[in-house]
Every structure is written in C-alpha cells, then in structure tokens.
Chains A and B, each alone.
Chain A
Amino acid sequence: GAGVSQTPSNKVTEKGKYVELRCDPISGHTALYWYRQSLGQGPEFLIYFQGTGAADDSGLPNDRFFAVRPEGSVSTLKIQRTERGDSAVYLCASSQGGLEGEYEQYFGPGTRLTVT
C-alpha cells in the first residue's frame, strides 16, 4: 500500500547496544515525525523534519538519540548505548507539510523496541 511503513516491527536488543529504526513515509510528504509511546500514554514527540532538515528536535531525550533524513524521504532513528528505559513503541508519521497547511499526520504501525 501507500501508507507509512516502519522496520523492523519488533526489535529486542541488549542494554548498551546500538539500534537503528527505519521509517518510509508516504511519497511526497515533506514533514516526517518521530514519537515514542509507552503503555497507557500518548505519543511523546521526539523530532520532526521538514525535507532533509530537523525542524525541531527538542523532544530527543538526550544525545544518545539521533535521527537523519538525508534525501528528504526515508528517515532513520538511531539510539546509542541503549538503556532499559528506552523500551517503548517508536512511531513514525508523515504529513504533506505544504503551504496550504496539510497538517494531518499519517502514522506507521510502529517499532516495538525492547531493551533487555
């Protein structure tokens, strides 16, 4: 389909390891968002991109978290030296982001990260 896809769907890693989570947005969407969601909570904003640049990364919890979107399409969220507290579902969303203010976000299914 033409929706947002995320890979992997599940990731189990050991404390201290490095992980990469990938997001493929809807084609043509210029805005891309990363959130993380813990059980019983709403999505917590991490970062959003307009094109290739990070327009707002104020939600990244610390410098172990980094995200890139080098060609303005696919994005990768990178987490170094993972900690058990990083365990959550990581959600990616995209929106058209145009001048007409197309703000509706289309979410992927998420990547469930478990740090053991």
Chain B
Amino acid sequence: SQKIEQNSEALNIQEGKTATLTCNYTNYSPAYLQWYRQDPGRGPVFLLLIRENEKEKRKERLKVTFDTTLKQSLFHITASQPADSATYLCAVETGGFKTIFGAGTRLFVKA
C-alpha cells in the first residue's frame, strides 16, 4: 500500500543542537516533496520544497535532503531554538498538484 511515514514519537532536543526529522515513503515516485510546520490550532505553513533532481536544499537554518533511491527525505534544523517547537509535516507529490501528508513529527526544543 502507499504510505508516508514520519517519526511517530516526539523529538526532544536541547537548544542549539541540530534536529533531524525523517520522512519515508513507499510506492510513490514523487516529482517533489514539501515540508510544512504546524502550530497547535493553526493551519500548516510551507517551509521548503525539494524536487526529484535536487539532492539538497537550504533556507536559513533549514536543510532538506531527498534520496529518491532510498525513498526518504531528511529535514534538519540547525542551531535549534525553543521557537522551533512545533509539528513538522512531510508532504509527497502523488500527481500534479496533489500531495499526501504524513502524520507529522512533534519537535520540542528545550532551553
């Protein structure tokens, strides 16, 4: 079956460390993959998009990698801050503009 898996358990890290979140997918061949941030009671907010021909993409303290062979994307937040605490969602393209979201990983950054 088609599936998107993200770390189901919350990730707790110390301020200043690098947070690494994983997104694995099966039975898709996405042309692109996106990462979103969601805070409680709010809609998701777009962070980064990476295309199938890109290995890595960066934006400020964020870095995303995309390995189409492993069917995996890694999302890194360097020099993490308590304000980075949120749920991070991976979204996989499944045809044109349609995307399917993973369940998300909750990140807690402790001061």
Shortest Cβ distance from residue A46 to the other chain B in the assembled complex, whole angstroms: 11
Q: Give the distance in Å from the alpha carbon of A106 to the alpha carbon of B46 in the complex.
A: 7
Map CB proximity to B onto A23-45 as digits: 1 under 8 Å, 0 otherwise. Answer: 00000000101010000111111
Q: Which residues of chain B come closer than 8 Å to A31, judged between CB atoms?
A: 97
CB under 8 Å from chain A, chain B span 28-56:
32, 34, 36, 41-46, 49
Known: A41-B103, A103-B34. A97 touches B49 (CB 8 A): no
Shortest Cβ distance from residue A42 to the other chain B in the assembled complex, whole angstroms: 4
Nearest CB in chain A to that of B94: its residue: A45
Q: Which residues of chain B come closer than 8 Å to A48, judged between CB atoms?
A: 97-98
Q: Which residues of chain B come closer than 8 Å to A67, judged between CB atoms?
A: none
Shortest Cβ distance from residue A40 to the other chain B in the assembled complex, whole angstroms: 7
Q: Which residues of chain B come closer than 8 Å to A97, judged between CB atoms?
A: 97
Q: Does chain B have a CB within 8 A of A55?
A: yes
Q: Which residues of chain B come closer than 8 Å to A56, judged between CB atoms?
A: 95-96, 98
CB under 8 Å from chain A, chain B span 12-36:
32, 34, 36
Is there an interface contact between A109 and B97, defined as CB atoms closer than 8 Å?
Answer: no
- B44 contact from A40, A50, A107, Cβ within 8 A: A107
Q: Which residues of chain A come closer than 8 Å to B45, judged between CB atoms?
A: 107
Nearest CB in chain B to that of A43: its residue: B101
Q: Which residues of chain A come closer than 8 Å to B49, judged between CB atoms?
A: 103-104
Q: Give the distance in Å from the alpha carbon of A50 to the alpha carbon of B34 in the complex.
A: 20
